[in-house]
Amino acid sequence: MSLADVYDVDVTFYHRDGTIYVDTRVGAPEHLLALLDGLGLDRHSAQDDVWHQIPDEMDEIAMKAMADRAASLLARAGYQVDIDAGLFGGTAYRAALAEQAAHRPPPPPAAQVRRAR
């Protein structure tokens, strides 16, 4: 079980020992893994476990900027994304979530009636 499975999201970003990791659900589709590859993240695997990480040779500011940009693109693509609260500000990610929420259809009329009571 991956952290993404634990948090019930498609992708989770977290920071450990100076590295930013990007974890997907177990058995994530290849198109999601390829998307993460295409965003510049390094893919790693060991014993049926696949994860990505921000390239270690980047400085911390560049790492955080890359993670923020990747998270926002994943959110815009409709993936559920979790970000470790201490990792970075997530300004691009929060903007993508707001944009995503603005495009959601309104709740059905029955749900609106129940809320009004």
26: left (phi over 0), alpha (psi -120 to 50) or beta: beta
Hey, which residues does 85 pair with through a beta bridge? none
pLDDT of residue 115: 47
Beta bridge pairs of residue 50: 45
Residue 92 pLDDT grade (very low, low, confident, very high; cuts 50, 70, 90): low
Q: Residue 81, Cβ neighbours under 10 Å: how many?
A: 23
| Mean pLDDT value across residues 72-89 | 82
Q: How confident is the model at residue 114 (pLDDT cuts 50, 70, 90)?
A: very low
